[in-house]
């Protein structure tokens, strides 16, 4: 197929990851707008309860982002200056930014070559008396080796805070991510497996979440619903210098509908991922993502890796070629240690985390969302294989 023919194979541009919002969500939002509560109120409470029930979580706190969930968790653990938090360089900057926000030092360790998740052996080697928490990221939706990391955290008397922005509804050894008592932060950003446009959830021990709930709303002893509902009192105390991280009932209305559709959405993501892998695993130029036998992958991302020895072009040109063929893509992620702030503050070099950096140079994320039709999936496969064929060594 010539480049001209390839470009005309798909006439309209296929966006990388748009949200899938239906009439149910629209009706639920309208119902909220017509109610007395549009900020945090009864629908947010329902969303928390239904989310916790769906995962078997001890408790859940709805917040305005996954970033907020991680920040609140660190603050409630009183992690601060002089403390260290171990995490991965292959993540969005928010994971590391929140460690900086509380004044602690982020300690980066490299990732596993297959899953691109944080390497437990390297975590063990990085532990010091100053370590207060381990913050693993379930990269792309593939769970980390959480039993090993949990055992390591317990042995060193530190807390594991899971960045589960990609991990709904992933399972590790049959148990949902978020079902345990340690803090776990989820994202409901527009591209996520469940969206509230902007939003997040923190799951964990109910007593811990009680403290987090106070910190998430200015450190107030009573939230607005408790103050303004019938029988409520206008009085409140500021018991800590908290944040403004609450989720609104408008956002929760969307979340309630999305939660009911999550299983169907997940099934479609699995089908798309399986179709991609079947098409790409036979080509020496392409390395599909892995799924270990003891996990259920959330398939938030389909991260395809190029094998440079088989191609005459690199990742950046490969992305450009797909765009010419009307296929949207993304890259997850630019490693933390090459961003100027972290590079300059901590003196990192690109080679400090060779697994993360070498994989970053050859990875791209393909469209993966439940709104993709079979024809869309076929178009993506055809475009990828055409670029490979056109630029094969």
Residues annotated catalytic, as ranges: 192
Q: 250 near 32, Cβ under 8 Å?
A: yes
Q: Edge-to-edge strands of the sheet including 200-203?
A: 60-63, 200-203, 184-187, 162-163
Extract the tokens encoding 289: 């993502």
For residues 164 and 85, what is the distance between their CA atoms, to the nearest angstrom? 16
Q: 98 near 74, Cβ under 8 Å?
A: yes
For residues 26 and 19, what is the distance between their CA atoms, to the nearest angstrom? 13
Whose structure tokens read 């018991």? 239
Q: Chain centroid to CA 8: how far?
A: 34
Q: 66 near 183, Cβ under 8 Å?
A: no
Whose structure tokens read 């699995």? 270
- H or E element: which one contains 86? strand 84-87
DSSP state string for 327-351: B--B-----GGGSHHHHHHHT--GG
Q: Parallel, antiparallel, or unpaired: how do β-strands 162-163 and 184-187 relate?
A: parallel
- For 127, other C-beta atoms within 10 Å of its C-beta total 18
DSSP state string for 111-168: B-TTT-SB-HHHHHHH--TTEEEEE-B-GGGPPP-HHHHHHHHHHTT-EE-EE-TT-T
**Among candidate residues 300, 296, 276, the one with its CA nearest the CA of residue 288:** 276
Whose structure tokens read 């916790």? 52
Give the alpha-carbon dihedral of 202, 184, 53, 247, to 10 degrees. 20
- For 116, other C-beta atoms within 10 Å of its C-beta total 26
């Amino acid at each position: 197929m010539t480049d001209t023919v390839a470009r005309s194979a798909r006439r309209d541009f296929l966006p990388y990851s748009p949200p899938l919002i239906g009439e149910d969500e629209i009706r639920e939002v309208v119902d909220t707008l017509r109610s007395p509560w549009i900020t945090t109120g009864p629908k947010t409470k329902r969303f928390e309860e239904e989310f916790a029930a769906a995962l078997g979580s001890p408790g859940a706190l709805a917040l305005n982002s996954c970033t907020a969930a991680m920040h609140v968790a660190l603050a409630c653990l009183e992690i601060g200056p002089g403390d260290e938090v171990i995490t991965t360089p292959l993540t969005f900057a928010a994971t590391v930014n929140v460690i900086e926000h509380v004044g602690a030092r982020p300690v980066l360790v490299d990732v596993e070559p297959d899953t691109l998740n944080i390497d437990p052996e390297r975590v063990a080697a990085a532990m010091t008396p100053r370590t207060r928490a381990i913050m693993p990221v379930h990269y792309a939706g593939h769970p980390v080796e959480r039993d090993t990391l949990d055992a390591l955290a317990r042995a060193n008397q530190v807390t594991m805070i899971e960045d589960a922005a990609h991990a709904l509804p992933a399972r590790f050894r049959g148990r949902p991510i978020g079902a345990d008592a340690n803090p776990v932060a989820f994202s409901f950003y527009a591209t996520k497996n469940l969206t509230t446009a902007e939003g997040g959830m923190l799951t964990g021990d109910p007593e811990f979440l009680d403290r987090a709930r106070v910190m998430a709303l200015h450190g107030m002893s009573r939230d607005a619903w408790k103050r303004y509902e019938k029988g409520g009192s206008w009085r409140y105390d500021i018991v800590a210098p908290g944040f403004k991280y609450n989720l609104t009932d408008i956002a929760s209305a969307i979340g309630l509908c999305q939660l009911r559709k999550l299983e169907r959405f997940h099934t479609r993501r699995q089908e798309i991922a399986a179709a991609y892998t079947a098409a790409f695993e036979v080509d020496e130029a392409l390395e599909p993502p892995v799924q270990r036998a003891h996990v259920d992958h959330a398939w938030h991302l389909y991260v395809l890796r190029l094998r440079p020895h088989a191609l005459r072009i690199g990742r950046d040109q490969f992305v450009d070629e797909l765009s010419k063929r009307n296929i949207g893509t993304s890259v997850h992620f630019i490693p933390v240690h090459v961003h100027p702030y972290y590079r300059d503050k901590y003196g990192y070099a690109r080679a400090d985390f060779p697994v993360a950096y070498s994989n970053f140079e050859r990875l791209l994320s393909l469209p993966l969302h439940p709104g993709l039709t079979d024809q869309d999936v076929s178009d993506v496969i055809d475009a990828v294989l055409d670029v490979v064929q056109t630029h094969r060594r």
